[in-house]
Every structure is written in structure tokens, then in C-alpha cells.
Structure 1
Amino acid sequence: MSDTATIDPVLREQVVETICDLLPRVLKREVAGASESTTLMDDLGMSSTTGLELVLELEDRLEREISVEDLGRDNFETVGTLADYVAGNLLPEDE
């Protein structure tokens, strides 16, 4: 897992905003007041299927591929933990 010290805070913030923006689309319902401390499974009832869909939507929106090799249930604890993972595991852009 990547060291959170190496994560670009601006990128992480962008990922948090993007996740919150995508939640209603992925969950197919209104999601009010989502923030980085919102728990995806507990607060929003996200399943592993919707979690995967969210990661795919994130890749699309960020126009970057996310390495999912080490992506586990723990990374879906909160919007913030998912943002940490995504910001630290974006694959280099194709030249």
C-alpha cells in the first residue's frame, strides 16, 4: 500500500470531490452531504459491485487508470480511505 505521505493533497482533494460527485450516479439515488468521513458500506450501503462500479467511474472521470491489485474492502471504509488509495495508486499517464 502506498505511503500517505507521498500523496498529492490537491489530487486527493480532487478525488474526494469526484467520489462524492459520482456517488448518486453509482448508487442510483440521492446522496446528500457526502464527505470524506462518510462510510461507504455503513452509511451508504455500498456493495462490492457498486464499489467496483465507482472505481470504474472514477477512472473514466479522472481519465487515469487505477491500480486495483491491492484494492481491498478496507479501502472502501470511507470516502477518505478510498481517496487515499486512489490518489496513491493512479497508474502513470500514457505518453
Structure 2
Amino acid sequence: MKARYQYRFYPTDQQRTSLAQLFACVRVVWNDALALCKQCEKLPRNGDLQKLVLTQAKKSEAREWLSNVSSIPLQQSVADLGIAYKNYFDSLNGKRKI
């Protein structure tokens, strides 16, 4: 038998602000990576996407605010996009159910 636990999180005002900032940055990185994937004929690798969307973007003045949050969730959003694309193409080829 497996145990199941349920937790509730009551963030402070500072934590809410930090979480909102993090979620906004993750959304921007996801959308930037998705736009790059749509422009390319061949799907870029996750490492290449991270270089373009994270490393290069943090160096630009327009996206320097991405440096204010942890890089791990930003990297994970790029990885999740790669998994989403893989699952989509696998479902088209019949390797995965929709």
C-alpha cells in the first residue's frame, strides 16, 4: 500500500513576489525557445537551445533580468520543451499514444 500526503503552501508576500518573478522568467524562456524551434527546419538540441535562449539572452540588455532568478528552472523549461517535441513527433510516428 502506498501512502499519500497532501501539503498546502502559504507563501509570504516576499515569496509570492519571488515565485511570480520566477514563473514569468520561465514563461519567457519557454516562449523564446518555442519561437526558435518554429523558425528552424531541424529541431535544435537542448544544449544549443540553452546557449541561445539562456546564455546569450542573459548577456543582452533586453533580457538581463533573467539573471535575477535561479538558472535551474530556466534550464528545466528548455528541457521540458524538448521532451514535449519528442513526445509529439513520437505520437505522429505511432511510437507513442496521444
| Higher relative helix content | 2
- TM, length-normalised to structure 2: 0.36
Q: Say which one has the larger Rg.
A: 2
Normalized against structure 1, the TM-score is what?
0.37
